[in-house]
Chains A and B, each alone.
Chain A
Amino acid sequence: MLARLYFVSQSESVNANWAEENLNTIRCLMEQASVYRRAMAPVAIVVGLIGLAATGLAQTVDWAGPGRFAGYWLGVAFVAAMVALLLIRQQALNSKENFWSPPTRHVAQAMIPLLIAGLGLGLLEILNQPDARDSIRLTALWIILYGGALHAAGFFMRRGIRLLGWIFVIIGSLCLCFYELEQTPWLNEKHAHLLMGWAFGANNLMYGLYLKLTSEPLDAE
């Protein structure tokens, strides 16, 4: 009788453990499935091209100097964000899915705080006295914040977004350090637009092309 009772209590505990393990597996698989899976390649390529075009325009009309820098690049960022949202919406429509799906919401919630901080820095720069403005410092801080936003979004995305975030954070930090320590005489107001173009244009474009070239076939049934 005792042996039977022992057997029953032991099997109950095994079953409870098994049920708990199954619940954990289910939770992990559901989380894995709910990652953001819109194709990032076209978005990164278009954002990169916008960045490069904006740099080309600023260089052509010779907008060097901190006067219009922050306002100009905030405008470019707004245009790039709108185009990116339109592309993502188009992808959602093509897949007959909701645009504002839970994964999209997670990615947006992860990115927004740092992007708002970048907006705030830009607005502060515009409100600053012209002689107190510093485009290189602002660019370096923007690169760091953008990298942080990508890294945060990477927790809900795939394919190296967190690594790209780290690259931006490291590039921005190095720029800021060298600039503050006055180790790079070539890093001056004249080259602020080029730094923006390289960081936000070229890097996004390269990432988009990497995604495009290494994308897996959609189906192989």
Chain B
Amino acid sequence: MNPDTFQQLDKVIHEKSRMAITSMLAGSPGLSFTELRNSLKMTDGNLTTHIRMLQKSGYVSVSKSFRENRPLTTCALTVSGTRAFNDYVTLLERIVKQAQRSK
């Protein structure tokens, strides 16, 4: 197996919680903060920290609005976030294929 493949894995997405956040956002056009928190069973603080990290890397956009007089924070993957996530998944698939070939 080529060790370079591991080096190419995006460090931002590679962390367990951020991988879960990006996976959920990749499956939907946008998710509210509450939906993400409840689905991933994360604390508000933990989720905020990871979303800030993803936002800083330009992978996630956060928009704030009001619905039914309640604040609504919506997160979505940006174009570069989608590209980075797709590259990450492609690399994982390559690792699995390489392992299957070497068996």
Residues of A near any B CB (own CB < 8 A)? 12-13, 15-16, 19-20, 22-23, 25-26, 29-34, 37, 94-95, 97-98, 101, 216-221
Nearest Cβ distance between residue A180 and chain B, in whole angstroms? Answer: 45
Interface CB pairs A-B, < 8 A, 28: A12-B1, A12-B99, A13-B99, A16-B96, A16-B99, A19-B92, A19-B99, A20-B96, A25-B20, A26-B92, A29-B20, A30-B23, A30-B24, A30-B26, A30-B27, A32-B24, A32-B39, A33-B39, A34-B28, A37-B28, A218-B70, A218-B72, A219-B73, A220-B44, A221-B33, A221-B34, A221-B44, A221-B73
Contact A219 B27, beta carbon cutoff 8 Å: no
Q: B20 — which chain A residues lie within 8 A by C-beta?
A: 25, 29
Q: A98 — which chain B residues lie within 8 A by C-beta?
A: 29
Alpha-carbon separation in the docked complex, A13 to B95 (Å): 10
Judge whether B93 is part of the interface by a CB distance below 8 angstroms: yes
What is the size, in residues, of chain B's interface with A at 8 Å between Cβ atoms? 36
Nearest Cβ distance between residue B19 and chain A, in whole angstroms? Answer: 7
Residues of B near any A CB (own CB < 8 A)? 1, 6, 19-20, 23-35, 38-39, 44, 48, 67-68, 70-73, 89, 92-93, 95-96, 98-100, 102
Task: Specify the chain A residue showing the minimal Cβ separation from B99.
Answer: A16
Q: B70 — which chain A residues lie within 8 A by C-beta?
A: 217-219
Residue with the highest number of chain B CB atoms closer than 10 Å, among A12, A23, A26, A30: A26
Alpha-carbon separation in the docked complex, A23 to B73 (Å): 28
Contact A16 B100, beta carbon cutoff 8 Å: yes
Alpha-carbon separation in the docked complex, A101 to B19 (Å): 24
Alpha-carbon separation in the docked complex, A172 to B29 (Å): 38
Alpha-carbon separation in the docked complex, A95 to B71 (Å): 14
Alpha-carbon separation in the docked complex, A156 to B57 (Å): 32
Q: B38 — which chain A residues lie within 8 A by C-beta?
A: 216
Q: B102 — which chain A residues lie within 8 A by C-beta?
A: 12
Contact B24 A220, beta carbon cutoff 8 Å: no
Task: Specify the chain A residue showing the minimal Cβ separation from B21.
Answer: A29
Q: A31 — which chain B residues lie within 8 A by C-beta?
A: 27
Nearest Cβ distance between residue A218 and chain B, in whole angstroms? Answer: 5
Contact B19 A219, beta carbon cutoff 8 Å: no
Contact B95 A16, beta carbon cutoff 8 Å: yes
Q: A29 — which chain B residues lie within 8 A by C-beta?
A: 20, 23-24, 27, 39
Contact A26 B23, beta carbon cutoff 8 Å: yes
Q: A101 — which chain B residues lie within 8 A by C-beta?
A: 29
Alpha-carbon separation in the docked complex, A91 to B70 (Å): 16
Alpha-carbon separation in the docked complex, A20 to B91 (Å): 11
Task: Specify the chain B residue showing the minimal Cβ separation from A8.
Answer: B1
Contact B30 A23, beta carbon cutoff 8 Å: no
Nearest Cβ distance between residue B35 and chain A, in whole angstroms? Answer: 8
Residue with the highest number of chain A CB atoms closer than 10 Å, among B6, B26, B35, B99: B99
A25-B20, A33-B27, A221-B71 known; A15-B39 Cβ under 8 A: no
Q: B67 — which chain A residues lie within 8 A by C-beta?
A: 94, 218
Alpha-carbon separation in the docked complex, A31 to B24 (Å): 8
